[in-house]
Amino acid sequence: MVSALIPLCNKSFSHQSSLLTHQRLHSGERPYTCDVCNKAFNKHSGLITHQCTQSSLLTHQHLHSGERPYTCDVCNKAFDKHSGLITHQRTHRDECPYVCEVCNKAFKHQGLLIKHRSIHSGERPYICELCSKTFSCPKYLITHQRTHSDERPYTCDVCNKAFSNKSGLIKHKHVHSGERPFSCEVCNKAFSDKSSLIKHERVHSGERPFCCEVCNKAFSDKSSLIKHERIHSGERPCACAVCNKAFIQKINLVRHQHIHSGEYPYTCEVCKKAFSDKSTLKKHESMHSG
Helix (H) or strand (E) holding 5, with range, is strand 4-5
CB atoms within 10 A of CB 274: 13
Residue 67 has pLDDT above 60, yes or no: yes
Question: Strands 12-13, 4-5: parallel, antiparallel or unpaired by DSSP?
Answer: antiparallel
pLDDT tens string 158-195: 899 888 888 888 888 888 888 888 889 999 999 888 88
Residue 59 has pLDDT above 90, yes or no: no
In a domain, 204, yes or no: no
Across 49-60, b (16+ Cβ under 10 Å) vs e yields ebbeeeeeeeee
Look up the CATH number of the domain holding residue 37.
3.30.160.60
Judge whether 205 and 216 are in contact, CB under 8 Å: no
In a domain, 266, yes or no: yes
**DSSP code for 9:** T
Residues in contact with 92: Cβ distance below 8 Å, sequence separation at least 6, in sequence order: 72, 74, 75
d(CA 253, CA 233): 18
Q: Of 21, 38, 65, which one is at a domain's C-terminal end?
A: 65
Judge whether 87 and 110 are in contact, CB under 8 Å: no
Q: For residue 243, what pLDDT is reported?
A: 92
Instruction: Please tell me the total count of domains within the chain.
Output: 2
In a domain, 127, yes or no: no
Which of 254, 215, 251, 220 has the alpha carbon at shortest distance from 233?
215
Which pLDDT band holds residue 37 (cuts at 50, 70, 90)? low
pLDDT tens string 218-240: 988 888 888 899 889 888 888 89
In a domain, 210, yes or no: no
Strand partners, 21: none
What type of residue is 184?
C
Q: Of 39, 65, 91, which one is at a domain's C-terminal end?
A: 65
In a domain, 121, yes or no: no
Per-residue pLDDT, averaged over 252-274, amounts to 87
Which of 131, 155, 156, 166 has the alpha carbon at shortest distance from 145?
131
Strand partners, 280: none
Per-residue pLDDT, averaged over 59-76, amounts to 73
Instruction: Select, from the ranges 63-72, 86-95, 244-253, the one with the highest average predicted confidence (pLDDT).
Output: 244-253
Residue 215 has pLDDT above 90, yes or no: yes
In a domain, 189, yes or no: no
d(CA 284, CA 264): 14
The boundaries of the domain holding residue 279 are 238-289
Which of 140, 143, 159 has the alpha carbon at shortest distance from 151?
143
d(CA 50, CA 227): 48
Whether this prediction's pTM lies above 0.85 is answered by: no
In a domain, 47, yes or no: yes
Q: Of 19, 36, 65, which one is at a domain's C-terminal end?
A: 65
In a domain, 96, yes or no: no
